[in-house]
Amino acid sequence: MKRRRARNMTGHKNRLSASALIVRTLIGAGMAVMLIGVFYPLFWMVLSGFKDNTGLLTNPFGLPDKWRFSNYVSIWNNGIRRYFFNSLVITVLSSALVAVVSSFAAFALSRYRFRSRRFWFMYLLCGLMLAPQVSLISNYKILQGLHLYNSYAGLVFVYTAFRVPYTMFLMWSYFMTLPKDIEEAACIDGCSSFQNFAHILLPMSKPIMATGTILTVRYVWNDFLFSMVYTESAALRTIPYGLNALKSETGTEWAKLMAGMVISAIPIIVLFTFTQKYFVRGLAVGAVKG
């Protein structure tokens, strides 16, 4: 009887190990397909940037017959360098302002009890329901009235207004899950509210701060609509507009356009590469606690 039980248990373990192996193989194959689907378009775009128009149109999926590094140099020097730095300035300023405003608003709404707290919370959340396309004319009039139209400041303020509601809600939901015992102990030791915020809450909130900042950077860097509507001078427009301006009715140099798209994607790829630990942790914490 004991031998039979041992054999049955061994057979059961073998069946489990075989089924587990099949499941792992299927999961691995699915992940491989997903990776190919994500990285192949980027790989194709990089290769296309080394071709000429003829090679790109006649052999779009093959290797370049001649590696033309001059495409990247030419499109940078004569095409998108100005737009690239415009995007960099506007993205950095907008992301910093969104992080500051959202963190202060989330701190006040999560830690203080005042009469109009619920009103201000709902007022900020209403910004999530406002589509950018709906507010183009009103924002245009406001910027003109404030003499901020066709300026860095105008774009930064518009981006900040549209990103604060979402980022504030992320931070507020995270702040509400943090224990208040540490802050109360710090207050007993003589810490002010601002010291509690700067030295206790913010260091504990790095993951969600990183998540909100990365999402803001991606939104601002890739935006085309606001740059086109709220600026007139080409010296102020951002890289999505610059890439669109490379197209021509008489003839578009598609290979150089691909090179420009690769250059425009590099900052976002680098940002996600170096901050993915905080980004994933922030999403995980938000999913569990939010």
Pick from 9, 196, 235, 221: nearest CA to 107: 196
Regarding whether 122 and 200 lie in a shared domain, the answer is yes
In a domain? residue 70: no
- What is the structure's pLDDT at 74? 87
- What is the structure's pLDDT at 92? 94
Q: Using the predicted structure, report yes or no on whether residue 170 has a pLDDT greater than 70.
A: yes
Q: Using the predicted structure, report yes or no on whether residue 290 has a pLDDT greater than 50.
A: no
Regarding whether 101 and 137 lie in a shared domain, the answer is yes
Q: Using the predicted structure, report yes or no on whether residue 82 has a pLDDT greater than 50.
A: yes
In a domain? residue 8: no
In a domain? residue 249: yes
CA distance 46 to 259: 7
| φ/ψ bin of 240: left (φ > 0), alpha (ψ from -120 to 50), beta (otherwise) | alpha
Give the residue carrying structure tokens 């998108």: 80
In a domain? residue 92: yes
Give me the CATH number covering residue 212: 1.10.3720.10
Residue 273 has a CB neighbour count (10 Å cut-off) of: 8
Structural domain count of the chain? 2
Per 3-state DSSP, what percentage of the chain is helix, strand, and coil (rounded to 5)? Answer: 80, 0, 20
Regarding whether 126 and 41 lie in a shared domain, the answer is no
- What is the structure's pLDDT at 282? 60
Give the residue carrying structure tokens 């995007």: 87
State the residue range of the domain holding 242.
79-287
In a domain? residue 178: yes
Residue 85's contacts (CB-CB under 8 Å, 6 or more residues apart) are none
Average pLDDT, the chain: 83
- In the predicted model, what is the mean pLDDT of residues 251-267? 86
Tens-place pLDDT, residues 189-241: 777 777 888 888 888 888 888 888 889 999 999 999 898 899 888 888 899 98
Tens-place pLDDT, residues 16-30: 577 777 888 888 888
